Amino acid sequence: MSLKNWGKFWYLGLVWGATFLWLKIAIREVSPLTVNAIRLLISSATLFLIARIYKVKIPLRERWRSFLFLGIFNIALPFALITISEQSITSGMASILNSTVPFFTFILLPMFVPDETLSPLKVLGLVVGFIGVVVLVSNDVSDVFKDFQWGALLVLAASLSYAMAAVFARRVTFGMHPSAQALGQSLFANLALWPLALVLEAPLTLPRLPMTWISIFWLGIMATAIGTTLFYSLLNQAGATRTTLTTYVFPLVGVLLGVLFLNESVDWRLLAGGLLVITGVGIVNARFKGFSWTRKAEQS
C-alpha cells in the first residue's frame, strides 16, 4: 500500500479500536440505541458538510438500495449489536471479538468478489495476525469460553455484518466517491435507528454529563464521519481483505488504553501479541518479487 493508504489504515485501527472504550462511557448514562441514533445524527451532519466542501453528488435516487443495505449492515445493525453487547461484556472483549471481521471477509470474498485473489501469503498473514490477537488476550479468551455470554454472540454477529457490508461495497459501490458512500449509508442508518430508539427506549433520554456528550461527539465525528469516509477510500484502493484487517489492531489499542488510562500492567502478551499483529498486517500488505497475488486496483 502507499504511505497515504497506510495512514488511513492506522487511523481506522487506532480510532475505531478506541470506540469500544467511548461506547462503554456513553452507555453508563444513555441507552444503547439512543447513543447510536445521536451519534449518527452528528455523523450525518458532518458528512453533509464534507460533501458540500468537496461538491460531491450523492446518487440517492439511483443507488438507494445499495445505501439501504450498507446503512443497515455496515452501520445500524452492528452499531446496535456491539453497544448492547457492552452491557454484559467488557469493552476489551468486544474489541477482541470484533477482530474476527477479516475471517468472515475471507470466507465471503471468493463467493462474491472472485477477482480479489487470496494467496497463500495473504492467508498466512491473516492467521499470524489472528494468533497475535489471541496472544494479546489469552487470559480473557479462556474466561469468555468458560462462561460464554450472549453479549459475545452479538459482537460476532456484528462482525459478520461488517464483513458482508465490506464485500457488498467492494462489489457494488466500487469507485464511488468515499464521502458519497459514507453519507448515503448514514442517512439510511438514521432512518433505521431513530424509530427503534424512539419506540424501544421511550421516553428518549438525552445525555446530561459533559463526558457523555464528548463520547458521542467523538464517536460521531472521529469514528463514524471521518472513519467511514476513510474506510471507503481504503476499501476502493486496497481491497476488502486489507481494509478489514484494521480490526486486528483493535485489541492492541484496547490493551494500550488499559495501560495508559487504567494503570494496567505490561506483560509479554502485549509485546508478543502486538508484534504478531503487526507482522500479520505486514505480510498481507507486502509485495514479494516473483509473486502476483493482488489485483491491479490494490497496487496503490
Residue 18 vs residue 257, higher pLDDT: 18
CA distance 17 to 250: 4
Which of 23, 15, 47, 85 minimizes the C-alpha distance to 188?
Answer: 47
For the segment 157-171, the average pLDDT, to the nearest whole number, is: 89
Predicted TM-score (pTM) of the model is 0.77
Pick from 67-81, 158-172, 177-191, 285-299: least confident = 285-299
Average pLDDT of every residue of the chain: 81
Cell of 293: 497475488
Cell of 162: 461488517
Q: What percent of the chain has pLDDT over 70?
A: 79
Domain locations in the chain? Answer: 3-298
Whether pLDDT at 149 is above 70: no
Instruction: State the DSSP code for 245.
Output: G
Whether pLDDT at 130 is above 80: no
Q: What is the pLDDT of residue 297?
A: 40
CA distance 97 to 89: 11
Whether pLDDT at 146 is above 70: no
Q: What is the pLDDT of residue 198?
A: 93
Q: What is the pLDDT of residue 288?
A: 46
For the segment 260-275, the average pLDDT, to the nearest whole number, is: 67
Exposure string of 222-248, with b = 16+ CB inside 10 Å and e = fewer, is bbbbbbbbbbbbbbbbbbbbbbbbbbb
Residue 132 vs residue 39, higher pLDDT: 39
Q: What is residue 115's three-state secondary structure?
A: coil
Residue 38 vs residue 239, higher pLDDT: 38
Q: How far is CA 139 from the centre of its chain?
A: 24
Encode pLDDT of 176-223 as tens digits: 889 999 999 999 999 999 999 999 988 888 999 999 999 999 999 999
For the segment 35-57, the average pLDDT, to the nearest whole number, is: 93
- Written as one letter, the residue type at 53 is I
Q: Are 232 and 8 in contact (CB under 8 A)?
A: no
Q: What is the pLDDT of residue 286?
A: 63
Q: What is the pLDDT of residue 296?
A: 40
Pick from 11-15, 52-56, 247-251: least confident = 247-251
Whether pLDDT at 292 is above 60: no
CA distance 187 to 184: 5
Q: Please, what sign has the CA dihedral across residues 76, 200, 47, 98? A: negative
Q: How far is CA 222 from the centre of its chain?
A: 13
Most confident of 135-139, 151-155, 164-168, 169-173: 164-168
CA distance 82 to 32: 9
CA distance 168 to 272: 34
CA distance 39 to 190: 9
